Amino acid sequence: MPESNLAERSDRSEEQVSGAKVIAQALKTQNVEYMFGVVGIPVTEIAIAAQELGIRYIGMRNEQAACYAASAVGYLTGRPLIVIGGSSERNQETMGAFQEFPQVEACRPYSKFSVRPSSIEAIPTVIEKAVRSSIYGRPGACYVDIPADFVTLQVNVDSIKYKECCMPPPVSMAETSAVCMAASIIRNAKQPLLIIGKGAAYAHAEESIRKLVEQCKLPFLPTPMGKGVVPDNHPNCVSAARSRALQFADVIVLFGARLNWILHFGLPPRYQPDVKFIQVDICAEELGNNVRPAVTLLGDINAVTKQLLEQFDKTPWQYPPESKWWNTLREKMKSNDAASKELASKKSLPMNYYTVFYHIQEQLPRDCFVVSEGANTMDIGRTVLQNYLPRHRLDAGTFGTMGVGLGFAIAAALVAKDRNPGKRVICVEGDSAFGFSGMEVETICRYNLPIILLVVNNNGIYHGVDKDSWKEMLKCQDATTVAPPMCLLPDSHYEQVMAAFGGKGYFAQTPEELQKSLRQTLEDTTKPSLINIMIEPQGTRKAQDFHWLTRSNM
């Protein structure tokens, strides 16, 4: 062997690499594109090493918001959340080390895979398994614990064997006999309904589900994050008659939608006692929760929908578009739309929710991402603000967690900037919800992300009081004894938070001011903006057929 080759081999055998660089390279090998975090000892070096390899690092102001952003990127790109946490040095365990805590054990109940690598050499294998576990089956978060001494520890570069990027998730299909039975039940339905859930959006099932809706002339109802799988303005969308559709359907097909609190557990009085559910889900453990289904179709939602379509291609069938059921739904949709429009047309000031959302809807770009959180802000907003594309609505979802909004908006803006330049992100926040992660406005401005924040400000949680009432309350007693627990400081100028960091802030008290400020923000693509929209402190939803979620005597 030539001496030069021997020298090169000798040099390489002596080359060292740090744990931080091994972690970064292992992530890069698994096609990780984005990293969110709040750096500090011992993870700063990991972020720097990731940037050197081209992974985009976004420094957040709060670790909670960082996780929200990472989870939303996972939903939008199909690469779910991997949490990497720094822990105390191994030789200090049980000694009361800095922030010593059983992190692996603590994360295990809440993640699909939670582990600490046994050595730096084991890191690539652990990272590959974490990524694979997160995307196979029902997607979910995984946790990888990194001892502080691993980050700077040097090992021989030849001792590291990086794992090839994991394969895409396998596509599973339902049993043929179950598909045939489901098709038969649908054909015999008198009052059918399709419910399109977040799982259908994640599975990219939009083309097959839309074909099923149109080919069989079936009414459908999207869940909050199922909006846009089939456009909200599709003639078969019955969102405006949601309660009526759920209450009187005799056959309901669930496409990646769970019978949890969002769908009232599938139980009476919100549903007929003898309603037949057909569940389509990737997760076997989800099948049969709360209600015994007539048929279960376990598999990838897109693949299973195509299996159903094959049945209707073999023997064509359409639900009669002029049936009594369709007429009932259309009448209810018409009356509910009229009630909402009447509220929206009110000229009184301060504005109500419906006035605000109808004016926003008029100007929203059809291809924008809509992010939303809050109580009435989110609930009323989803009934008015339309989605026309799949995976373009992000909200508090199953857990109803407040604080997700700005993290989700940052995630959507990054994905939009990389894949669809020019696409806008509209983040609609209640004033209370905005407070949970408001400092992420600085993050938005630091990275100059194309986000428009709309803070719907009613001076409180659910409702507040006006400035004059607030002053009167404080004349005699301390705020801690007389201020209602739901109240926030009246007329807070949240738009000044955006202006403080270099973005544009607007204060809107009238429909004209709202229209003008929204028009200006949509025209200006150079910097982020926030519109603080003042509404009636006691504003609420239109009358509902049923109590939503929980009852209250307030």
> Once rounded to an integer, what is the mean pLDDT over residues 402-429?
96
In the block, tokens 């730096």 appear at: 120
Tokens of 189: 């339905």
> Could you give the residue ranges of the DSSP H alpha helices within 191-286?
198-202, 206-216, 242-248
Residue 549 in this model has a pLDDT that exceeds 80: no
Helix (H) or strand (E) holding 296: strand 295-298
- Over residues 148-153, the mean pLDDT reads 95
Closest by alpha carbon to 203, among 384, 56, 390? 390
Q: Is 228 exposed, middle or buried, given 0-12, 13-18 or 19+ CB atoms closer than 10 A?
A: buried
Task: Output the 3-class SS for 455-519.
Answer: EEECCEECEECCHHHHHHHHHHCCHHHHCCCCECCCCCCCHHHHHHCCCEEEEECCHHHHHHHHH
Say if residue 550's pLDDT is above 90: no
Nearest of 242, 182, 165 to residue 216 by alpha carbon: 182
Strands (E), 98-153: 113-115, 142-147
Q: Among residues 473, 537, 534, 527, which one has the least CA distance to residue 507?
A: 534
- 231-264 per-position pLDDT tens digit: 999 999 999 999 999 999 999 999 999 999 999 9
Q: Tell me, what's the pLDDT at 41?
A: 83
Query: Does the N-terminal peptide bond of residue 350 adopt cis geometry, omega within 30 degrees of 0?
Result: yes
| Dihedral sign (CA 226, 232, 235, 241) | positive
Distance CA 53, CA 46 (A): 11
Instruction: Give the C-alpha distances (Å, rounded to integers) separating 185 from 21, 304, 502.
Output: 56, 16, 58
pLDDT at 10 over 90: no
Q: What is the pLDDT of residue 13?
A: 65
Helix axes 206-216, 301-314, angle to 10 degrees: 30
pLDDT of res. 551: 56
194-209 mean pLDDT: 98
pLDDT of 455 strictly over 60: yes
> Has residue 8 got a pLDDT over 70?
no
Task: Grade residue 518 by pLDDT with cuts at 50, 70 and 90.
Answer: very high
pLDDT beyond 60 at 492: yes
SS3 343: helix
Q: What is the pLDDT of residue 540?
A: 75
pLDDT tens readout for residues 82-102: 999 999 999 999 999 988 999
What is the pTM for the complete model shown? 0.95
* pLDDT above 80 (res 554): no
Note the pLDDT of residue 99. Answer: 86
Name the β-bridge partners of 507. 532
| CA dist., res. 242 & res. 276, Å (int) | 18
Mean pLDDT of the region 220-224: 97
> Mean pLDDT, the chain, as a whole number?
95
| Tokens 């021997």, located at residue | 6
The structure tokens 């809440």 sit at: 110
154-156 vs 16-18, strand pairing mode = antiparallel
Distance CA 489, CA 233 (A): 38
Strands 154-156 and 220-222, how do they pair?
unpaired
User: What are the pLDDT digits (tens) for 98-125?
Assistant: 889 999 999 999 999 999 999 999 999 9
Give the Å distances, CA to CA, from 207 to 75, 423, 543. 18, 22, 35
Cα dihedral 365, 366, 372, 378 sign: positive
Q: What ranges make up the beta strands (E) of 306-457?
A: 369-373, 393-395, 425-430, 451-457
pLDDT band for position 399 (cuts 50, 70, 90): confident
Tell me: the pLDDT tens digits for 31-77?
999 999 999 888 999 999 999 999 999 999 999 999 999 999 999 99
Mean pLDDT of 161-173: 97
Confidence of residue 14 (pLDDT cuts 50, 70, 90): confident
Q: How confident is the model at residue 476 (pLDDT cuts 50, 70, 90)?
A: confident
The two beta strands, 463-464 and 460-461, are antiparallel
Q: Tell whether the model's pLDDT for residue 6 goes beyond 80.
A: no
pLDDT digits (tens, 9 = 90+) for 266-277: 999 999 999 999
With cut-offs at 50, 70 and 90, classify the pLDDT of residue 290.
very high
